[in-house]
């Protein structure tokens, strides 16, 4: 009789221990994922700010004709000022489109060629690099968001509120196709 009780208590205790291990592992995983989302978001934010800053520099200092400069300054300025997440998605997409419209011209580099400042070419390369970095950073961020959302969808996580008060991360959906500078291919 006593042995029975002892054996039941032991079993329950062992199950509880196992369960708590499992729960704390799930919580730890969730925590790691949240951290990953935050890091990825910081990287994306930096990439976007860097892109608009470089584009503004191109609009201000380059030997581009004024119509292109106005278009770039307008799009980059709007992207910088955009407030909420949805508004920012729209503004950043517009910046990608404006960049492509202005820089996807066959022979742009040669066209800028003679009149361009010695560092004009470097600035174009910098814009291209910044646009590609946005493309990459957004992939990584959305990847982290997808993993986190999946982890948080489990019943256990929802019942035990393992995510705490961390807000559910949102995907960042924009057109981030980088420009093909000079229309090389």
Partner 1 sequence: MRVGLVCPYTWEVPGGVQQHVGDLAEALMGMGHHVSVLTPCEPGTELPAHIVSAGGAVPVPYNGSVARLAFGFRAAARVRRWIRDGRFDVLHVHEPAAPSLSLLACWVADGPIVATFHTSNPRSRAMSVSAAALRTALERINGRIAVSDAARRTLVEHLGGDAVLIPNGVAVRRFERADPLEGWPGAGGAIGFLGRMDEPRKGLPVLLRAFNQLGRERPGLRLLLAGPGDPREALGRVDPELRHRVALLGRVDDADKARVYHSVDLFCAPNTGGESFGIVLTEAMSAGAAILASDIPAFRHVLRDGAAGALFEAGDPAALARAAGEVLDDPRRRRELSAAARAAVRGYDWRTVAADVVRVYETVMPAGTAHARPVTVGRADPQ
Site residues (CB under 8 A) for partner 1?
59-60, 64-71, 73-75, 77-78, 94-95, 97-98, 101-102, 105, 108, 111-112, 114-115
In the complex, minimum distance from the CB of residue 154 to partner 1, in angstroms, rounded to a whole number:
41
In the complex, minimum distance from the CB of residue 58 to partner 1, in angstroms, rounded to a whole number:
11
Find the helix packing angle between 85-103 and 2-61, rounded to 10°: 40
Q: How far is CA 91 from CA 145, 146, 169, in A?
A: 21, 23, 20
**113 versus 154: smaller Cβ distance to partner 1:** 113
In the complex, minimum distance from the CB of residue 62 to partner 1, in angstroms, rounded to a whole number:
10
**Spatial separation of the C-alpha atoms in residues 162 and 21, rounded to whole Å:** 13
**97 versus 135: smaller Cβ distance to partner 1:** 97
Planar angle of CA 33, 81, 144, nearest 5 degrees: 15
In the complex, minimum distance from the CB of residue 105 to partner 1, in angstroms, rounded to a whole number:
5
96 within 8 A of 147, measured Cβ to Cβ: no
């Amino acid at each position: 009789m006593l042995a029975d009780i002892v054996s039941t208590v032991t079993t329950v205790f062992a199950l509880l221990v196992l369960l708590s291990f499992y729960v704390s592992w799930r919580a730890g995983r969730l925590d790691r994922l949240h951290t990953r989302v935050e890091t990825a978001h910081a990287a994306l934010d930096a990439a976007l700010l860097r892109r608009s800053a470089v584009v503004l520099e191109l609009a201000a200092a380059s030997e581009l004709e004024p119509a292109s400069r106005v278009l770039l300054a307008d799009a980059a300025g709007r992207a910088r000022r955009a407030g909420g997440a949805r508004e920012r998605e729209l503004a950043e997409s517009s910046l990608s489109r404006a960049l492509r419209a202005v820089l996807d011209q066959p022979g742009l580099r040669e066209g800028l060629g003679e009149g361009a400042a010695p560092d004009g070419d470097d600035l174009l390369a910098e814009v291209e690099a910044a646009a590609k970095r946005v493309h990459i950073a957004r992939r990584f961020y959305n990847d982290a968001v997808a993993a986190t959302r999946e982890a948080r969808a489990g019943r256990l996580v929802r019942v035990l509120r393992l995510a705490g008060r961390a807000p559910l991360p949102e995907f960042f959906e924009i057109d981030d196709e980088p420009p093909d500078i000079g229309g090389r291919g």
